[in-house]
A and B are shown apart, each in its own frame.
Chain A
Amino acid sequence: EVKLVESGGALVQPGGSLRLSCAASGFSFNKLWMTWVRQAPGKGLEWVANINEDGSEENYVASVEGRFTISRDNAKNSLYLQMNVLRVEDTAVYYCARRGDDFDLWGQGTLVSVSS
């Protein structure tokens, strides 16, 4: 079955860190760009970061640049998002999505709550 499954979301205090994971299955993970998109509660979609096939190119939205790091392990068919210095405004459901431009497959998302 072709799917993406996110994990790692949690409640964390401002300034804290969290690492999200996305397990991919059913397709050639190592041949595709991958992306993280987030959605704050009751709000719209925001692109966060993407990464190329071999992990040599990364792009970020300005609001997370320097705090978040996207990475991948093609041997494990997994995508990651290391989130440091978390802010209240980072509270959102984080989706893993396939491809780097338009996104043809999405996971169910994992909730990150940043609150004291």
Chain B
Amino acid sequence: DIVMTQSPDSLAVSLGERATIHCKSSQNILFTSDNTNYLAWYQQRPGQPPKLLIYLGSRRQSGVPDRFSGSGSGTDFTLTISSLRAEDVAVYYCQQYYNAPLTFGGGTRVEIK
């Protein structure tokens, strides 16, 4: 199974500042034939189901604010919130869909400093 490791477990960021979350896969999740990373990022606000933010490593889901961006390739990935807003307080998860079983990272909790 591909293990997804997120860091940090939690971080506190001031409003308007940048938040950076890292995700590392235990195996390469870049599909070389189309140069696509099979990685997604989700936001889960308290008491809510997860919401898809980013798919294929860096493609923003429709309706997601452009302050959210995904980057990285192969085994190392990053989710960046460029300017934190109060409504971004949530737990963020990465997920690989390169092969089954599909696996999630352990989550990163983002709070306001």
Contacts and interface: CB of A to CB of B under 8 A. Distances in A.
A61 B95 CA distance: 14
Query: Is the contact region of chain B dominated by helix, strand, or loop, or is it mixed?
Result: loop
Contacts of B100: 59
A75 interface: no
Contacts, number: 50
Closest 5 CB pairs of A and B: A101-B97, A106-B49, A102-B40, A47-B102, A45-B104
Interface of A: 37, 44-47, 50, 59-62, 95, 101-104, 106-109
30 contacts: A44-B93, A44-B105, A44-B107, A45-B93, A45-B95, A45-B104, A45-B107, A46-B104, A47-B95, A47-B102, A47-B104, A50-B102, A59-B100, A62-B101, A95-B49, A95-B50, A101-B40, A101-B97, A101-B102, A102-B40, A102-B52, A102-B55, A102-B56, A102-B95, A103-B40, A103-B50, A104-B52, A104-B61, A106-B50, A109-B49
